[in-house]
Structure 1
Amino acid sequence: MLSLRTVQVNRYVTPLREGGSLPGIAEADDGFLYVVKFRGAGQGCKALIAELLGGEIARKLGFKIPEIVFAQLDEAFGRTEGDEEIQDLLRASEGGNLALHYLSGALTYDPAVITVDATLASKIVWLDSFIMNVDRTCRNTNMLWWKKELWLIDHGAAFYFHHSWDNPEKQAQSPFSMIKDHVLLPQASELAIVNETYQQLLTPTFFEEVVSLIPDEWLLVDAPFATIAEHRNAYVQFLTNRLSAATIFINQANHARETLI
């Protein structure tokens, strides 16, 4: 059964201002540093849900993902922070947040320096098409090179439809046109082969397990559903429908790739 650890954030270290939601590096009670994604940031709990689902789906598919944990902030946290903007963010984020283990010394992936082979590129493009991740472009690759391996980070912009839940059935069956901007699309020549493998790895049981990780309190924010159970089921149904429509987003990715090469 899937589960995430919970840590208590003890010390705010520094903001990561290149992130639109102003994540920050913080130290937790287990002695490790984490990149904390705050519920009080602009996209709120929806970004945390996307980060959790996107990251754990990627892990299931075999990608290197920093450990994801729940990060608790008590009401006293951040009172001594001198930056007023950050202090407001921390106050708005009391309670449960999400954090990723900080990969100290990691380098930002640079396509001009590090070559990704066709198989790995196809796997990453398939993942991002599946979860509708708009954030893996040349401008913002959201990949790190750490200990001679490629690590995927920052999936908070995925599943963008869930900010409104406007016709999720149609969204699940739709192509992903923004894949044209994906940094690894030119190398992604094995999408059909990758799809055969991933269709076996992603099951309804796994979707239920990963969605069950979402805290109830996050599902109560801006929810168009009558109950938490309905909200969870909507995510499971979307993921199931999206997987069954893989041919649609694969065709879109292949078409976009043909225009580039």
Structure 2
Amino acid sequence: MIERVRLTRYVSPFREGGSLPGLMEADDEGTYVVKFRGAGQGPKVLVAEVLCAGIAGLLGLPVPRLVEAELDAAFGRLEGDQEVQELLRASTGPNLGVDFLPGAFDYSVRAFPVDAEFVSRVLWFDALVNNVDRSWHNPNLLWWHREPVLIDHSAALTFTTTGRARVPIRHGRTLRASTCCSGSPPMWTRLTRHWLRCWTRTRCARSPPRCPTPGSSRNRGSAAPRSFGRRT
């Protein structure tokens, strides 16, 4: 089950994304990028984030740790920015916290090459979850501790917002794979019917694994936000 934390401090907003997520501290001394249920896209995109992170973790793809972030009503009264204040008021209660990765860079294929096997797994995963938001201009990847990390799957599982699935956009130019199918047999065998059933049940859901890094991702005392990703 996903860990629950209580938010204690609002640090700053991420204005690069339309949903206006915020960098916040919690009572576990961790720092999180919080995606709010009161944003225009609604809570369904948060459900998509949780499901996709769980599936990605099962397939061995690195994703940040997710938490259920409890927001107190007092935040909406104390924030000075009116836009942020209205968002916080509409998001009282549980929201989605994504572990903040201090010092992470936006991924660039020229600066941070990755192997073809990893690329094939990402392509296979995006096709599985119907992710329409990973592209040449917006790969939704971070480079952290010399490893790629997948982020931002709110546009995946598009039936949650449109009522029907769509074909994912092609992004093979961003991550050059030798083949999209080389990793398919060992990957799909991990997605058993029992696991999928358990993951979609609230009480049986397992928390996505921590991002594999040499140190803790709690980032105590981290500095101002670096690069979480341009679009959220």
Q: TM-score, normalised by structure 2?
A: 0.83
Contact kept, 8 Å, 2:7 with 2:24, in 1: the verdict is yes
Distance 1:68 1:109, change over 3 A: same
Please state if 1:106 is matched with 2:104.
yes
- Residue of structure 2 in register with 1:200 after alignment: 189
Please state if 1:210 is matched with 2:208.
no
1:222-241 to 2 correspondence within 5 Å? none
- How far did 1:184 drift? 3.5
- How far did 1:33 drift? 0.3
- Residue of structure 2 in register with 1:118 after alignment: 116
- Residue of structure 2 in register with 1:81 after alignment: 79
**SS of residue in 1 equivalent to 2:181:** helix
- State the Cα deviation string for residues 3-51 of structure 1 (Å, max 9, x = none): 1100001111111111221111100011110010100011111110111
Distance 1:26 1:214, change over 3 A: farther
1:130-149 to 2 correspondence within 5 Å? 130-149=128-147
Alpha-carbon separation, structure 2, partners of 1:149 and 1:44 = 31
Letter in 2 for 1:76: A
Contact kept, 8 Å, 1:136 with 1:182, in 2: the verdict is no
Distance 1:177 1:100, change over 3 A: closer
1:33-182 to 2 correspondence within 5 Å? 33-166=31-164, 171=165, 176-178=167-169, 180-181=170-171
Alpha-carbon separation, structure 2, partners of 1:214 and 1:100 = 20
- Residue of structure 2 in register with 1:219 after alignment: none
Distance 1:24 1:131, change over 3 A: same
Distance 1:206 1:184, change over 3 A: farther
Percent identical among aligned pairs is 45
Distance 1:160 1:214, change over 3 A: farther
Contact kept, 8 Å, 1:26 with 1:33, in 2: the verdict is yes
**SS of residue in 1 equivalent to 2:2:** coil
Consecutive unaligned residues of structure 1, counting only runs of 5 or more, are: 216-261
**SS of residue in 1 equivalent to 2:76:** coil
Distance 1:22 1:106, change over 3 A: same
Letter in 2 for 1:194: G
Alpha-carbon separation, structure 2, partners of 1:191 and 1:214 = 34
Contact kept, 8 Å, 2:45 with 2:160, in 1: the verdict is no
Contact kept, 8 Å, 2:139 with 2:174, in 1: the verdict is no
- How far did 1:135 drift? 1.7
- State the Cα deviation string for residues 188-216 of structure 1 (Å, max 9, x = none): 2332221101121111111112211399x
Letter in 2 for 1:203: T
**SS of residue in 2 equivalent to 1:17:** coil
Alpha-carbon separation, structure 1, partners of 2:142 and 2:105 = 5
Aligned residue pairs total 204
Greater Rg over alpha carbons, structure? 1
Please state if 1:189 is matched with 2:187.
no
Letter in 2 for 1:195: S
- How far did 1:155 drift? 0.7
**SS of residue in 2 equivalent to 1:114:** coil
Tell me whether 74-83 or 196-205 shows the greater mean CA deviation: 74-83
Alpha-carbon separation, structure 2, partners of 1:214 and 1:45 = 18
Contact kept, 8 Å, 1:49 with 1:214, in 2: the verdict is no
- How far did 1:126 drift? 0.8
